[in-house]
Structure 1
Amino acid sequence: MEPIRLTRADLPELYRVASAMAHTGQRRVVRLTMVLLCSGLASGVLALFGGRSGPSWHAWADTMAAALFATAAVGGALLSSGKAHRRWYDGRAAAESIKTLSWKYTMRAGSLGDDSAADALFCLRLTQVRAEIEQLGRADRRSLAPAAMLTPAMRRLRAAPLTVRRAVYLEQRIRDQIEWYSGKAGQAERRARAWQLLTAVIGTAGVCGALARSRGMVEVDALGLAAAFLASIAAWSELRQYWPNAAAYRLTLRELNVIEQQAGEVPDDPGEWRAFCEHAEYAVSREHTMWRVRAH
């Protein structure tokens, strides 16, 4: 007998629509931020070498600096409109909501425990999520088809014995989330430390350059350059939110570890298992609640 699994490919089609929307929005936010920061930084660097005095290429430096500054301004205007951010955050919140609903359906948790009404209620909930996505013009009519909402893998897992559903939930939901959050927390912490180190190096270089200029050893405004670089690093770090994300991931990770321990204490009783899954999904859904708050 083929083992039962519930992968991302087995979730409703609407999950992939929302996830794709989130990835598109995220890529656009990152690209616009890079255009803003890199163009602005390059403009500042070239402006240091501008002016009528000196070699003829100094005048071209002024022209290039102006063009790059204009590019940065356009990128900043597009970024500040908030459209890309809303697409990113709303898409991620919707995707996580759909995933939570899907696991509740397969585990018969909460209001989705009644077989006579579960299918209709699940489709209604997904339709409500889809209505929010449709405001951004990304939903596909095919995602509302019953076969796209309730996949064969979901129906199969829901119909499986409690012992099977329990094993699948612990392995493919709880432990999968623990591994994901653990990896993300470590990654965020490593990147935060790397940017901290770079900040310290650039700050030190700026101070040394300023001291050298005060003694007539160099003419370049090293302190101004360092300040521009540090401002760009600060803006990038604010976008990526390394330390806040690491803290949020660690918090959720601790909750998931507690849930995993509690799972071993839940008896093989359908009612108690449904209550446990409802509680577990409430903890896991903290992420899409966070994304919803960011979006609005």
Structure 2
Amino acid sequence: MVGAGESSTTLKQLRAQARQLQQYHTRAVQWTLITSVAAGFIALIPHRVATATAAILLLISVIASELDTRRGWRDRWYETRRAAEACKSVLLMHRLWVPPYDQDDRDEVLAHNLGRYKCSRPTEQAEQVATSDRWQDRRDAYVKDRVDDQIDYYSTRAIAGDRRLRTWQKVSRSTYAVVLGIAVLQLFGAWEGEAVGPFVAVAASASAWATEKRWVEHTRLYGATLTQLRTLRESLESCPDADAFNRIVQQAESLLSSEHTHWLRLTKPPLDPQHENREPKQ
């Protein structure tokens, strides 16, 4: 979310900000996990330099984690992403003449709702569905350029999330199997090393990475959103008139908005109320 007092920005800039914040957060988590695991292995080397190196790596791990927390990169990423998607929805509904953007004051309502996110109206809306006087044409364009696009997106993400979750679960389980094997060898005196601790750190880091990426929730949430989008698409194909089309568009955009605000609710309540298209107070 763009903070109060900042100059207005465009949808493209909001998306760029969200991507940048995502990168900062991801890199901080990677540095935290990798340096902590590396410190555990290096500490096994019986040498002062190795001990000092392990201590430095642990310090880097703590700094990366603390920096991510203090800067709030994850929460700011979610907030900015939500703002970008809300602005995209507002612009699209305005383009389609969907209520409340179907009256003479539609431009004023648009400016008000974009202003809630400190977002300015673009000079050209190349990303938006093409407008038309016939609601059937607007429906066909909306299905093709918005609904089908989102169906492809959520389908791909759901499959990818499930695949990555299974991969990291295998890594974690394999590492714990190695730990068990080492422990058995030590029990029978066939292993004199002290590698159990570092391998436990590897397994714990793999589990922590899978938890951080929220692949379980991604798969479940994206799958549910995908099912609802397909149902709405069928309703769009059979809607009888412009009023029905408008209602379905509002339902679809509300669904997409709910998905984007879900991640904020996992961390803390959003700074602003959940996105909704509404008219300015008189």
Q: CA separation of 1:68/1:264 partners in 2, compared to 1, >3 Å: closer, same or farther?
A: same
Does the CA-based 8 Å contact 1:105-1:158 persist in structure 2?
Answer: no
Between structure 1 and structure 2, the one with the greater Rg is 1
The question of 1:209 aligning with 2:182 is answered yes
- SS class of match (2:151): helix
In the alignment, the residues of structure 2 paired with residue 34 and residue 80 of structure 1 have an alpha-carbon distance, to the nearest angstrom, of 14
Specify which structure has the higher proportion of helix.
Answer: 1
Question: Quick one: which amino acid aligns to residue 235 of structure 1?
Answer: A
Please give the alpha-carbon distance, in whole angstroms, between the structure 1 residues aligned to 2:253 and 2:25.
29
Shift of 1:122: 0.7
Determine the C-alpha separation between the residues in 1 that align with 2:209 and 2:253. Answer: 32
Query: Which runs of no fewer than 5 residues in structure 1 stay unpaired?
Result: 1-11, 51-57, 131-142
Q: CA distance change for structure 1 residues 104 and 292 in 2, over 3 Å: closer, same or farther? A: farther
What's the CA shift for 1:158?
A: 3.2
Q: Does the 8 A contact of 1:25 with 1:86 survive in 2?
A: no
User: Given the superposition, is the C-alpha separation of residues 154 and 79 from structure 1 closer, same or farther in structure 2, using an over 3 Å criterion?
Assistant: closer
Q: Within 2, Cα distance between the matches of 1:44 and 1:152?
A: 53
How far is the alpha carbon of 1:17 from its aligned partner?
Answer: 1.5
- AA aligned to 2:89 is T
Question: Which residue number corresponds to residue 248 of structure 2?
Answer: 276
For 1:274 and 1:291, locate their aligned partners in 2 and report how far apart those are by CA, in whole Å.
27
Deviations 1:263-282 (A, max 9, x none): 12201x22222122112211
Residue of structure 1 in register with 2:16 after alignment: 20
User: Could you say if the C-alpha distance between residues 104 and 190 of structure 1 is closer, same or farther in structure 2, counting changes exceeding 3 Å?
Assistant: same
Q: By how many angstroms is 1:292 displaced?
A: 3.5
Please list every run of at least 4 consecutive aligned residues from structure 1 whose deviation after the TM superposition is greater than 2 angstroms. Answer: 150-161, 269-272, 291-296
Q: CA deviation at 1:104?
A: 1.3
Go from structure 1 to structure 2 and tell me whether the alpha carbon gap of 1:152 and 1:193 turns closer, same or farther (over 3 Å shift). closer
Give the superposition deviation at 1:284: 2.1
- Which residue of structure 2 lines up, in the alignment, with residue 102 of structure 1? 91
Q: What number of residue pairs does the alignment pair up?
A: 261
Out of 23, 30, 34, the residue aligned to residue 34 of structure 1 is 30
2:207 to 211, 228, 234: 234
Q: Describe the SS at the equivalent of 2:191.
A: coil
Counterpart AA for 1:117: D
Shift of residue 283 of structure 1? 1.6
Normalising to structure 1: TM-score of the pair?
Answer: 0.82
1:197 to 159, 170, 189: 170
Match of 1:290 in 2: 262
Q: 3-state DSSP class of the match of 1:158?
A: coil
Identify unmatched segments of 5+ residues in structure 2. 1-7, 269-282
Measured against aligned partners, the alpha-carbon deviations of 1:203-262 in whole angstroms (never above 9, x if no partner) come to 111100111122222222232122111111122112101111110000000100110111
Query: Please, what is the CA RMSD of the aligned residues?
Result: 2.0
